Amino acid sequence: MLLGKTIVITGISSGIGARIGELAVAEGADIVGVDLNPPARPLDAFIKADIGSAQGVAEIVQTLPRRFDALCNVAGVSGMIGAAKTLAINFYGLRELTEALAPRLREGGAVVNVASIAGYGWRANLERAKAFVSARGFSDLGPLLAAHQVPDGEAYPLSKELLLLWTMRAAHQPLFKDRGLRINAVSPGPVTTPILKEFRQIFGDPRVDDDIARVGRAGSAPDIAPAVLFLCSDGARWINGANLPVDGGLEASINATVLGF
C-alpha cells in the first residue's frame, strides 16, 4: 500500500525514524529524510535541518518536493536540553512544519505524529495543555512555562500532551480537513532506542522499570514502524484524529490502575 508513494520522515537517522525509513523503502516508497545528523543508509533525498527553530523549519519547507503523500513527524528529544527547547522541537516546530507543508500533501494524504505514553496525562492537565497549544509559532515560552510552573523534568511529557491534543484538533481544522488530509498519532511505550537512557535519568529507573514490567518487555523500533506506516497508507483512509497506543498494553494497564477496574 506504499508502493510509489513519497514519504517525508523527520528524525530519519536513528531509532524509530530510521526503522520507519527502512521499512518504507522495503515496501516500495520513496523517502525524503530530515535530521540534524546524516543517515547511515542512503536515501532518495536528505535534508540536514533543525526543526526546533523558525529558520530550520523554513529551510526544510524550501527544500522539500512540491508534492508528497505522507509526513511522519518522528524527530524529538528527551527533555534534557531544557523545557523551552524541548517544546520547540517536540511540538512547536513540528506543528509549524506540518502546517506549512499541508498544501503540498496530496489530497487524501496523511500526517503521523509520534507521540508517547508519556502524554497520557493530557486529560488531567487539559487547561494547561490548551494554553500551550494556543501559543503560536516560536514565541517566548518563558512566561507561559513560569505561569504553569513547568520544570525541565516535565518538558517531555508536556510536549507529548500538547501533541496529542493538537492531533485531535488539527484533524478537524480546514487547513487539513478541506483536502481530506488525515492526522493521527502513534504513542509508543518504553522503546530500546538511545533516548531510553536519557529517560531513565529524567524519570528514574523505578518508573521506567515498572512500565516495562507491566507489559513484559521494552519495545523496539521494529515494533513501532509498521503501525506508523499503516497510518500513512490508504488502508487507514477512515482513521483520522486518532491516537494508536503501540505499547504492549501499557496504556490499558495504566487505565486499569487509574480508573480502578
Q: State the Cα–Cα distance between residues 258 and 245, nearest whole angstrom.
A: 17
89 secondary structure, DSSP code: I
- Catalytic residue (one of 156, 166, 176, 203): 156
For residue 156, give the nearest of 117, 123, 184, 118 by alpha carbon. 118
For residue 32, give the nearest of 61, 58, 8 by alpha carbon. 8
Q: Which residues touch 98 (CB under 8 Å, ≥6 apart)?
A: 71, 73, 111, 170, 183
For the beta sheet containing 45-48, the strands, ordered from the edge strand earlier in sequence to the opposite edge, are: 45-48, 30-35, 6-10, 68-73, 105-114, 182-188, 243-246
156 included as an active-site residue: yes
Residue type, 178: D
Q: State the Cα–Cα distance between residues 130 and 170, nearest whole angstrom.
A: 13
Q: State the Cα–Cα distance between residues 58 and 209, nearest whole angstrom.
A: 40
Q: State the Cα–Cα distance between residues 214 and 192, nearest whole angstrom.
A: 16
Q: Active-site residue numbers?
A: 156
